[in-house]
């Protein structure tokens, strides 16, 4: 069976501005793939080309082996999408919105009724099933968007910032939905700039910036590439300048920066062995260390490092 998403040399220009360079990306079946990048990196452009909202300037994209530009109807048949926060026809209720999407997809009445009930319960909109969408908040529209994407139990879910507009509880619920879709063996391709979100639900990720793919791999592979050298040490009492200078001279310490309230940022030059040496030295010195932890996650550090590099 063909890969759910295969992109080769995909690019998009707006006049002289290149929104997407020449992207090569293959997403195998059954995984949750995070598509990371800052605003304007080219994430939405990629997703809009994949869903036939934009025409590529070069290259091509296939969904399950079917070219999106040449055969959009066939290519999108097994795909559910949430792109940005879509607007719905205000004069329809969630049930009618789902009926519209379901009837376009040729779903039977019984299947449509059963699935509509299920997905509205999943996104916690069952109590609003008959209310007109025009009265909905952005978060509620986002939930409805997720419901319509799940309606036909798609083999591939393409999500563009799926937690945008949701409160923390809603964000957690969406992450749970994505995890359950993944557990069912379906493929999820989601763009995000929320690294914690990607780390929680995705198996693999790619990092894109200025229309170029910077990195791609499983989260473990990406974590190994990260520069996890910055740590935050918290002391019971703020170290004085002499003590800070002493820490700076411990073997493996590259720099020391106090950031207030007894917190000191320490950059190391090595891996876990160096960490052990430094912690041990600080404790032996009599400084009252209460916490020593890495600053940010490995993915976050990798992201910041890569985005900084492309900015330069």
| Site for other proteins, rule CB under 8 A | 48, 51-55, 72-77, 79, 81, 83-84, 86-89, 91-92, 96-97, 100-101, 103-106, 145, 148
How far apart are CB 93 and other proteins at their closest, in Å?
A: 11
How far apart are CB 48 and other proteins at their closest, in Å?
A: 7
Contact criterion met (CB below 8 Å) for 204 and 34:
yes
For 239, which DSSP code? P
- For other proteins, give the closer residue by CB, 83 or 247: 83
For 283, which DSSP code? H
Q: How far is CA 6 from the centre of its chain?
A: 19
How far apart are CB 53 and other proteins at their closest, in Å?
A: 4
- For other proteins, give the closer residue by CB, 149 or 247: 149
| 142 sits in which H/E element | helix 138-150
How far apart are CB 259 and other proteins at their closest, in Å?
A: 42
- For other proteins, give the closer residue by CB, 104 or 236: 104
Number of H helices, E strands in the chain: 11, 14
How far apart are CB 178 and other proteins at their closest, in Å?
A: 18
Count CA atoms closer than 13 A to 155's CA, side-chain side: 14
Strand-strand pairing, 204-209 and 187-192: unpaired
- For other proteins, give the closer residue by CB, 158 or 307: 158
How far apart are CB 237 and other proteins at their closest, in Å?
A: 55
- For other proteins, give the closer residue by CB, 106 or 248: 106
Distance CA 34, CA 197 (A): 9
- For other proteins, give the closer residue by CB, 43 or 48: 48
How far apart are CB 98 and other proteins at their closest, in Å?
A: 11
Distance CA 208, CA 107 (A): 37
Distance CA 190, CA 238 (A): 43
- For other proteins, give the closer residue by CB, 138 or 254: 138
Across the beta sheet with 156-160, what order do the strands follow? Answer: 79-82, 156-160, 187-192, 32-36, 204-209, 212-218
Distance CA 114, CA 101 (A): 14
For 240, which DSSP code? P
Counting every residue written for the chain, the total comes to: 312
If DSSP codes are grouped into helix, strand and coil, which group holds residue 152?
coil
How far apart are CB 113 and other proteins at their closest, in Å?
A: 16
- For other proteins, give the closer residue by CB, 160 or 243: 160
């Amino acid at each position: 069976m063909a890969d759910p998403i295969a992109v080769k040399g995909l690019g998009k220009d707006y006049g002289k501005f290149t929104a997407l360079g020449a992207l090569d990306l293959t997403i195998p079946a059954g995984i949750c793939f995070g598509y990371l990048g800052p605003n304007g990196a080219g994430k939405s452009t990629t997703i809009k080309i994949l869903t036939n909202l934009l025409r590529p300037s070069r290259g091509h994209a296939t969904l399950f082996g079917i070219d999106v530009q040449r055969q959009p109807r066939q290519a999108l048949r097994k795909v559910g999408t949430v792109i940005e926060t879509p607007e719905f026809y205000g004069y329809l209720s969630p049930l009618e919105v789902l009926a519209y999407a379901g009837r376009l997809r040729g779903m039977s009445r019984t299947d449509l009724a059963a699935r509509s009930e299920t997905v509205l319960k999943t996104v916690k909109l069952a109590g609003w099933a008959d209310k007109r969408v025009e009265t909905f908040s952005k978060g509620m529209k986002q939930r409805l968007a997720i419901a319509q994407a799940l309606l036909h139990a798609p083999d591939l879910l393409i999500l563009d910032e799926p937690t945008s507009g949701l409160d923390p509880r809603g964000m957690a619920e969406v992450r749970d939905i994505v995890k359950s879709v993944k557990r069912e063996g379906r493929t999820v391709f989601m763009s995000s700039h929320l690294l914690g979100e990607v780390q929680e639900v995705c198996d693999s990720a790619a990092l894109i910036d200025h229309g170029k793919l910077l990195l791609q791999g499983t989260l473990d592979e990406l974590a190994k590439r990260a520069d996890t050298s910055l740590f935050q040490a918290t002391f019971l009492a703020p170290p004085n300048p002499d003590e800070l200078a002493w820490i700076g001279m411990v073997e493996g310490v590259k720099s020391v920066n106090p950031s207030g309230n007894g917190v000191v940022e320490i950059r190391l030059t090595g891996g876990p062995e160096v960490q052990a040496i430094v912690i041990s030295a600080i404790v032996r010195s009599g400084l009252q260390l209460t916490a020593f932890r890495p600053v940010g996650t490995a993915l976050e550090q990798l992201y910041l490092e890569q985005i900084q590099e492309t900015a330069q």
